[in-house]
Structure 1
């Protein structure tokens, strides 16, 4: 098991544009993740987990608020000898969410469901 929790209270202290006291853009008060793994030395292994990002503002004026989101990820692999096969899926539920913003006019969507296959040979 691995995970983390972040609690932040980031605000603008001084500003010439009247934004003192506002929340810093793209910084959630709460975020975290929790992943569970099963990894024997050989054979099948896997991991699944959830990542959470709390609501945050897209701009320093705090005019546009991005909603919180949770994302589910999973990975399944098989290890035998020097070979390691792995399939990972991010955003397993294919949820639409806003990942980040650089301003109120530049908001970036998170990735849709993505599958990654990996084959590794260790010598």
Structure 2
């Protein structure tokens, strides 16, 4: 079932991206990777993944800007599940993420098991 689902990970920490990608691939997901906001946005619009994992603090374009742009861009962008994965843990950061259009919000550091459970939930809703 998961083998047909593609997840785009957008984060500027290569080791974290590779760790998440490894775990998701072991669960049968296809994984796309981007390391800054601009390339993450471009990949999302061009390749249309089933879900996006998005950091807030990114080079070139913030996760909030990526999220807002996707939500305004198209029907696809409005329906894409976006899970914000960030170290920014203040209430106002979560509120800003949700206002930008995030579907879910998970703080770093995080449990890989919880991340995978949230992804599976978002993909079934």
Length-normalised TM-score, structure 2: 0.23
Instruction: State the structure with more CA Rg.
Output: 1
Task: Considering fraction of residues, name the structure with more helix.
Answer: 2
- Higher share of residues assigned strand: 1
